[in-house]
């Protein structure tokens, strides 16, 4: 009996016992030894691929003519070959005793009959990974209304909440995992990418220019001009929603009391104006808000209240220094109404270009994502930051400074009152009590937004303008010092040694606790502040011609130095 006859006969058997009886009684003709050339190709060939090819060619002529070779047997065959390939390389004796094709065929037939005897039946045909991905994508489209943002993140519409949700694609990936697991696959990074690309291609994009007079609330879509409330709808292609109900009769007395505790009367409305400004995707005011105070004055609680009102889905918290120094950090701002930075560092910022672009007129900004092509995206993110000490920046341009509103909290120091300190420090309970008045805060914020639009400006008290001047003086301390300590004159009649002027400025910085700059940067700032000044060198000594160093004895005092002067910094700027 040849090996082919053995396999053919065994394929017709119904049980393992019949197969074992056949195996014991059959006398299978020995196959000729493998040729030297075949054996050498197997033993010395490059890598495990030759072993696979050897088994495939040797067994193919038997398996192709065997009636028991079906799809499920082919799977068993592949498993057997894989296991065999993992074994150590056989010796010449083992080659003929254990790896003869007819013996491997016997194992296959025995395995197939055992499976039949257990009643498992034929296995269903496995789907390919591509089929699993395509079927999952089709199932997702049937189950959800989809949309995508500017960087192709896919959202699904939640009919119960009336908004588009983004959960980092976790719900979609769970469906893909189940589909792949049913076909004995483990999900891989490529599978995820293919699914998300397929979903993004068929999903509509969120509006690049969303409506400026409509906001999505918990109980409907509100027109901020007419205060008319409309039902939610999936064709409102805008990802931001506020978990607050609209109530035209709502009030917020506790919030008003809290604001009166931490801010002066003429600054209370600044909170409602900024909350209204953050509700709509509009950067036309081109302003950023900096909350400043030494500590224990309520500014941190105010910032937390703003974030709670906006909701975690609608704001990001990326430090400005990271946005300026990291090309990929800007993607975190896509779809965000605000970016908050708490306890901002007083270290010098690495730049200001990204800040000015976002706060500016709303032009498209180039956003980079890892392993993907850069995209031009229009952001509507507003910056709100709080600090104990002012940050510093080397940008002294008008375009940088005109974008800031500084709100300094100096009315109360809660450290000096035990009762007030305990109340303000227990911020969670405080914020929870204020959030109960969220509909009233929303109503007043929308009213304040209309007022800002009408007058095209935010509320700024004299104290806020003074705080801005102080902020600028720390960053541009050279300009402040030059305005107060130098006098201009004819370039042929008045001059001062560059080294002497720089030394006098350094003494001023040491007294104020400011950072000292080197001589080259100082010289550049002097020429920038006094464009008419020229430099000269005499006997190896460098001079600034056209300015002189003012001393109390030589020059009359500035108006701001006299008793009763309004404000030194405001006069300078």
The three-state (H, E, C) secondary structure of 479-547, written as one string = HHHHHHHEEECCCCCCEEEHHHHHHHHHHHHHHHCCCCCCHHHHHHHHHHHCCCCEEEEECCEEEEECE
The answer to whether residues 345 and 449 belong to one domain is yes
pLDDT at 569: 37
- Which residues make Cβ contacts (< 8 Å) with residue 532, sequence separation at least 6? 488, 491, 546
The answer to whether residues 263 and 383 belong to one domain is yes
pLDDT at 373: 82
**d(C-alpha 320, C-alpha 303), whole Å:** 16
In a domain, 234, yes or no: no
In a domain, 139, yes or no: yes
Residue 439 belongs to domain with CATH number: 3.40.50
The answer to whether residues 440 and 483 belong to one domain is no
| Token pair in block for residue 517 | 């700059």
Q: CA gyration radius for the chain?
A: 38
Residue 564 belongs to domain with CATH number: 1.10.10.10
Task: Give the end of a domain, one of 463, 498, 533.
Answer: 463
In a domain, 58, yes or no: yes
**d(C-alpha 105, C-alpha 20), whole Å:** 14
> φ, ψ for residue 31 (rounded to 5)?
-80, 150
In a domain, 238, yes or no: no
Q: What is the DSSP string of 292-314?
A: E-SSSSSHHHHHHHHHHHH-GGG
In a domain, 329, yes or no: yes
Q: What is the DSSP string of 252-301?
A: -HHHHHHHHHHS-GGGHHHHHHHHHHHHSS--TT--EEEEE-SSSSSHHH
| Burial call 335-359: b when 16+ CB within 10 Å, e when fewer | bbbbbbbbebeeeebbbbebbbbbb
DSSP code of 560?
Answer: G
Coil, strand or helix: which one is 341?
strand
In a domain, 395, yes or no: yes
- Which residues make Cβ contacts (< 8 Å) with residue 492, sequence separation at least 6? 545
Determine the number of helices (DSSP H) and then strands (DSSP E) in the chain: 24, 19
**Residue 130 near residue 145, CB atoms below 8 Å:** no
E strands within 79-167?
146-148, 154-158, 163-165
pLDDT at 559: 36
Displacement of CA 543 from its chain's centroid (Å): 51
The answer to whether residues 276 and 416 belong to one domain is yes
The three-state (H, E, C) secondary structure of 401-413, written as one string = HCCEEEEECCCCC
Domain range holding 39? 3-117
The answer to whether residues 368 and 318 belong to one domain is yes
- Tell me how many domains the chain contains: 4
Task: Give the end of a domain, one of 84, 117, 150.
Answer: 117
| Burial call 131-160: b when 16+ CB within 10 Å, e when fewer | ebbbebbeebeeebebbbbbebbbbbbeee
The answer to whether residues 282 and 367 belong to one domain is yes
Coil, strand or helix: which one is 230?
strand
The answer to whether residues 331 and 367 belong to one domain is yes
In a domain, 511, yes or no: yes
The answer to whether residues 139 and 272 belong to one domain is no
Q: pLDDT tens digits for the chain (573 residues)?
A: 544 454 445 445 445 555 555 555 554 444 444 444 444 544 544 444 444 455 555 545 444 444 444 444 544 554 554 454 444 444 444 444 444 555 655 666 566 556 655 655 555 667 899 999 999 999 999 999 999 999 999 999 999 999 999 988 899 999 999 999 988 888 998 999 999 999 998 899 999 889 999 999 999 999 999 999 999 999 999 999 999 999 999 999 999 999 999 999 999 999 999 999 999 999 999 999 999 988 778 888 999 999 999 999 999 999 998 998 788 888 999 999 999 998 888 777 778 888 988 998 667 888 888 777 888 888 999 999 999 888 877 777 788 889 999 999 987 765 555 555 555 555 788 999 999 999 999 999 999 999 999 999 999 999 999 999 888 877 777 887 888 889 888 888 899 999 999 999 999 888 877 777 889 889 988 988 888 899 999 888 999 999 998 864 444 343 333 334 333 334 333
In a domain, 124, yes or no: no
pLDDT at 536: 92
Tell me the whole-structure pTM to 2 decimals.
Answer: 0.68
The answer to whether residues 446 and 375 belong to one domain is yes
**Residue 403 near residue 487, CB atoms below 8 Å:** no
| Burial call 405-437: b when 16+ CB within 10 Å, e when fewer | bbbbbebbbbeeeeebeeebeeeeebbeebeeb
List residues bridging with 215 in a β-sheet: 222
The answer to whether residues 300 and 447 belong to one domain is yes
The answer to whether residues 401 and 276 belong to one domain is yes
The answer to whether residues 445 and 525 belong to one domain is no
**Residue 352 near residue 395, CB atoms below 8 Å:** yes
Task: Give the end of a domain, one of 440, 463, 486.
Answer: 463
**Residue 246 near residue 219, CB atoms below 8 Å:** yes
């Amino acid at each position: 009996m040849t090996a082919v006859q053995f396999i053919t006969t065994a394929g017709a058997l119904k049980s393992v016992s019949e197969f074992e009886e056949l195996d014991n009684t059959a006398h299978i003709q020995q196959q000729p030894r493998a040729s030297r050339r075949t054996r050498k190709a197997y033993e010395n060939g490059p890598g495990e691929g030759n072993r696979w090819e050897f088994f495939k060619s040797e067994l193919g002529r038997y398996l192709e003519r065997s009636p028991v070779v079906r799809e499920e047997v082919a799977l068993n065959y592949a498993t057997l070959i894989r296991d065999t390939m993992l074994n150590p390389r056989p010796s010449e004796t083992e080659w003929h005793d254990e790896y003869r094709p007819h013996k491997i065929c016997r194992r296959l037939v025995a395995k197939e009959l055992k499976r039949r005897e257990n009643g498992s039946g034929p296995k269903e045909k496995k789907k390919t990974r591509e089929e699993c991905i395509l079927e999952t994508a089709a199932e997702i489209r049937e189950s959800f209304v989809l949309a995508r943002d500017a960087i192709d993140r896919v959202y699904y519409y939640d009919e119960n909440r009336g908004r588009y949700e983004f959960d980092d694609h976790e719900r979609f990936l769970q469906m893909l995992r189940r589909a792949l697991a049913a076909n004995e696959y483990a999900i891989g990074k490529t599978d995820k990418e293919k699914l998300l690309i397929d979903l993004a291609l068929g999903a509509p994009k969120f509006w690049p220019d969303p409506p400026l007079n409509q906001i999505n609330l918990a109980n409907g879509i509100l027109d901020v001009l007419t205060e008319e409330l409309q039902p939610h709808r999936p064709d409102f292609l805008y990802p931001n929603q506020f978990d607050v109900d609209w109530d035209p009769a709502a009030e917020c007395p506790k919030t008003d009391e809290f604001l009166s505790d931490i801010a002066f009367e003429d600054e209370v409305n600044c909170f409602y104006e900024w909350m209204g400004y953050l509700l709509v995707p509009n950067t036309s005011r081109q302003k950023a808000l900096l909350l400043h105070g030494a500590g224990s004055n309520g500014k941190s609680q105010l910032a937390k209240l703003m974030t709670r009102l906006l909701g975690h889905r609608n704001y990001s918290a990326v430090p400005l220094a990271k946005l300026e120094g990291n090309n990929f950090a800007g993607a975190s701002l896509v779809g965000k109404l605000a970016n908050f930075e708490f306890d901002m560092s007083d270290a010098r910022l690495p730049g200001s270009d990204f800040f000015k672009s976002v706060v500016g007129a709303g032009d498209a900004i180039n956003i980079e994502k890892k392993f993907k092509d850069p995209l031009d995206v229009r952001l509507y993110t507003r910056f709100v930051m709080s600090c104990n000490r002012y940050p510093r920046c080397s940008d002294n341009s008008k375009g940088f400074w005109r974008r800031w509103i500084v709100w300094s909290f100096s009315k109360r120091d809660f450290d000096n009152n035990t009762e007030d300190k305990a109340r303000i420090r227990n911020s969670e309970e405080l914020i929870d009590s204020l959030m109960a008045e969220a509909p009233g805060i929303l109503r007043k914020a929308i009213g304040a937004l209309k007022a800002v639009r009408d007058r095209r400006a935010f509320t700024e008290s004299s104290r806020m303008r003074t705080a801005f001047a102080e902020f600028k003086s720390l960053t541009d301390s050279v300009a402040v010092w030059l305005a107060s300590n130098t006098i201009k004159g004819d370039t042929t009649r008045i001059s001062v040694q560059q080294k002497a002027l720089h030394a006098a400025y350094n003494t001023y910085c040491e007294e104020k606790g400011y950072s000292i700059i080197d001589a080259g940067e100082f010289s550049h700032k002097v020429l920038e502040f006094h464009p008419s000044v020229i430099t000269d060198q005499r006997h190896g000594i460098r001079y600034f011609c056209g300015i002189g160093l003012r001393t109390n004895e030589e020059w009359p005092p500035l108006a701001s130095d006299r008793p009763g002067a309004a404000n030194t910094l405001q006069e300078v700027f």
